[in-house]
Amino acid sequence: MEEALHDVPALRDFAGLSHWDEHIPSESSILRFRHLLERHKLADQILATVNALLQAKELQLKAGTVVDATLIAAPTFTKNEGKARDPEMHQSKKSNEWYFGMKAHIGVDADSGLVHSVRGTSGNVNDVIEANSLLHGQETDAFGDAGYQGVDKRPDAKAAVRWHVAMRPGLRRALDKDKPVDVLIDQLERTKASIRAKVEHPFRVLKQQFGYVKVRYRGLKKNTAQIVTLFALGNLWMARHKLLGCMG
- In this structure, the strands spanning 97-109 and 90-94 are antiparallel
66 beta partners = 108, 143
- Mean pLDDT of the region 101-112: 95
Which pLDDT tens digit goes with each residue over 57-66? 888 777 899 9
With cut-offs at 50, 70 and 90, classify the pLDDT of residue 76.
Answer: confident
Report the distance separating Cα 206 and Cα 72, nearest Å: 10
Residue ranges covered by each domain of the chain: 42-246
Average model confidence (pLDDT) for the chain? Answer: 90
In angstroms, rounded to a whole number, what is the distance separating the alpha carbons of residues 40 and 49? 15
Q: How confident is the model at residue 189 (pLDDT cuts 50, 70, 90)?
A: very high
pLDDT at residue 171 is higher than 80: yes
Biggest CA pair distance of the chain: 76
Write the burial class of residue 237 (CB in 10 Å: 0-12 exposed, 13-18 middle, 19+ buried). middle
pLDDT band at 245; cut points 50, 70, 90: confident
Residues 86/89/92/94 CA torsion (nearest 10 deg): -100
Judge whether residue 212 has pLDDT over 90. Answer: yes
Mapping DSSP onto H, E and C, the string for 177-240 reads CCCHHHHHHHHHHHHHHHHHHHHHHHHHHHHHHCCCCECCCCCHHHHHHHHHHHHHHHHHHHCH
pLDDT of 147 reads 92
